[in-house]
Amino acid sequence: MVASLSYVHVTPDSPWGTYIAQVDRVIPYLGALGRWAETLKRPKRSLIVDIPIEMDDGSIRHFEGFRVQHSLTRGPGKGGVRYHPDVTLEEVMALSAWMSIKNAAVNLPYGGAKGGIRVDPRQLSLKELEKLTRRYTSEIGIIIGPHQDIPAPDVNTNSQIMAWMMDTYSMNVGATATGVVTGKPVHLGGSLGRVKATGRGVFVTGCEAAKRIGLAVPGARVAVQGLGNVGSAAAELFAQAGAHIVAVQDHTGTIARASGLDLSALLAHVRATGGVGGFKEAEALDPESFWDVACDILIPAALEGQLTPSRAQRIKARLVLEGANGPTLPSGDDVLKDRNILVVPDVICNAGGVTVSYFEWVQDFSSFFWTEDEINQRLDKIMVHALSHIWDTADRHRISLRTATFAVACERILSARADRGLYP
Ligand code: GLU
């Protein structure tokens, strides 16, 4: 059931509607903790801010900014900040809730939070982007902090933006507070391995899942939607493992090559032109045909709501690895289940990013930094262990990996909730 909150418009297919449907599916497996389930259907705290900046041409423009702390039950808020023209409070609420589930699923000592600005960053100069970031950081400064809520990169944000956020927060508190954000440049308290961590987690969980369904990764055909930070790192690792990247879609185009794309040439093209569109050594497809491409593994690594029932009906893959947050609608999930297509859900599949964010935060507090090998080994171990626990839960209850991940995570969140009790 779609929980009604007076301050947002929710539909069954909107991000918060999707999240609520996912929670409803897990309630039967929560036993006595189900008493606390309503807690998951309400973000603890949502902050909406106005961000006025002076543009390069002297005009003043205002942007909408958000930071939502869905849950602080298991620790500080944690989750990225997204810059996108379609950002809404409702979307940020869902993204923050998925962070609560994800952080609990891999057992990080965090709640869940997310932020966003409704802006197309491609239309801003570097100076305007910096002003936007700094003013946003100042505005949400009343609720973030190394022990309160720790932002990180997400769609269209990166280590430079994290450096500006860290600097702005630090200027306001009068001390360098590296632990206030993660995903920083390595020379500013960032962690080795953070940039590729989300894609690495997709690869590691993908290989585990492939093994379990008897799908060989060498020679497997992989289709990737979104060649940003997550999609590109995952594609590189799959290609290194001998898989063929047969199709890629992004906001500039859809390209395919049945024998496999030359990924390093493609990534060079993307760096030079900003997208996959116009890449010569591939066939250009119309966007909807992406979902018909012959492949074994599909990696949606872009935005929410992509796998609708009709697309889920058409895809050829045996395995879907959700690099993006919220790419599958609940009605799409049902189709995939009927078709016996395995989905490794976002809330475990893309948890590698926040896991290395956690390592970064720990390293910042101890001012002692680990090698990239140490980071990757610890990351792989956490991801494999978390997925195996989820898999056992799914087998025990005969439920999907998504519902099993929610079961593991909600059990952790709600037992913490019950033990803490209600104040006052
Ligand atoms: N934005 C990433 C995510 O959706 C990472 C968040 C973080 O590192 O805090 O999981």
| Average pLDDT estimate for 164-176 | 98
Alpha-carbon torsion 346, 351, 354, 358, what sign? positive
Domain 197-349 has CATH 3.40.50.720: yes
The residues facing 52 across adjacent strands are: 62
R_g (Cα) of the chain, nearest Å: 20
Q: How many CA atoms are closer than 13 Å to the CA of 140, on its beta-carbon side?
A: 34
Q: What is the pLDDT of residue 253?
A: 98
Report how far ligand 1's centroid is from the alpha carbon of 103 (Å): 9
Q: For residues 294-301, give the mean pLDDT.
A: 98
pLDDT of 56 above 90: yes
* pLDDT score for 167: 98
Here the tokens at position 295 are 């492949």
Nearest CA to ligand 1 atom 9: 79
Ligand 1 near 154 CB (within 6 A): yes
pLDDT surpasses 60 at 62 = yes
CB of 353 within 6 A of ligand 1: the answer is: yes
Q: Is the pLDDT of residue 222 over 80?
A: yes
Q: Which atom of ligand 1 is nearest to the CA of 79?
A: 9
What is the C-alpha separation between 336 and 206, in angstroms, rounded? 17
Query: Among all residues, which ones are annotated catalytic?
Result: 114
Q: How confident is the model at residue 4 (pLDDT cuts 50, 70, 90)?
A: confident
Instruction: Tell me whether strands 244-250 and 221-225 are parallel, antiparallel or unpaired.
Output: parallel
**Ligand 1 binding pocket includes 350 (Cβ within 6 Å):** yes
80 lines ligand 1 (CB under 6 A): yes
Helix extents (H) in 108-243: 126-140, 159-173, 194-212, 229-240
Tokens of 294: 């012959």
Q: What is the mean pLDDT of residues 292-303?
A: 98
Identical topology for domains 44-175 and 197-349? yes
Cα(110) to ligand 1 centroid in Å equals 12
Counting from 1 in the atom list of ligand 1, the atom nearest the Cα of 151 is 9
Nearest CA to 125 out of 169, 59, 185 is that of 59
Average pLDDT over residues 400-417: 98
pLDDT at residue 3, as a whole number: 57
Mean pLDDT along residues 377-401: 98
**Of the CATH numbers 3.40.50.10860, 3.40.50.300, 3.40.190.10, 2.60.40.10, which one belongs to the domain with range 44-175?**
3.40.50.10860
Mean pLDDT across the chain: 97
Strands 221-225 and 297-300: parallel
Q: Which of 87, 357, 405 to mutate to test the pocket of ligand 1 (most atoms within 8 A of CB)?
A: 357
Please give the span between the terminal C-alpha atoms of the chain, in angstroms, as a whole number: 29
Distance from residue 283's CA to the centre of ligand 1 (Å):
33
Residue 352 alpha carbon to ligand 1 centre in Å: 8
Residue 215 confidence (pLDDT) above 60: yes
Which residue of 67, 99, 102, 405 sits with most ligand 1 atoms within 8 Å of its CB, as the best mutation to test the pocket? 99
Centroid of ligand 1 to alpha carbon of 381 (angstroms): 19
Residue 80 Cα, ligand 1 centroid: separation in angstroms? 5
- What does the block give as tokens for 293? 């491409």
pLDDT in tens, 20-39: 999 999 999 999 999 999 99
Q: Is the CB of 182 under 6 A from ligand 1?
A: yes
pLDDT at 261 over 70: yes
**Residues 71, 63: contact at Cβ < 8 Å?**
no
Length of the chain: 424
| pLDDT score recorded for residue 2 | 47
Residues 80, 115: contact at Cβ < 8 Å? yes
Return the closest-CA partner of residue 112 out of 296, 347, 330, 366: 347
pLDDT in tens, 79-131: 999 999 999 999 999 999 999 999 999 999 999 999 999 999 999 999 999 99
Query: For the segment 313-368, what is each residue's pLDDT rounded down to a tens digit?
Result: 999 999 999 999 999 999 999 999 999 999 999 999 999 999 999 999 999 999 99
Q: Tell whether omega for the bond before 12 is within 30 degrees of 0, i.e. cis.
A: no
SS (H, E, C) 325-380: CCCECHHHHHHHHHCCCEEECHHHHCCHHHHHHHHHHHHHHHCCCCCHHHHHHHHH
Contact status, residue 212 vs residue 392, Cβ threshold 8 Å: no
Read off the pLDDT of each residue in 230-253 and give the average, rounded to a whole number.
98
The domain locations on the chain are: 44-175, 197-349
385-392: long-range contacts, CB 8 A cutoff, minimum separation 24: 386/105, 386/106, 386/107, 386/348, 386/351, 387/205, 387/208, 387/209, 387/344, 387/348, 388/208, 390/105, 390/348, 391/212
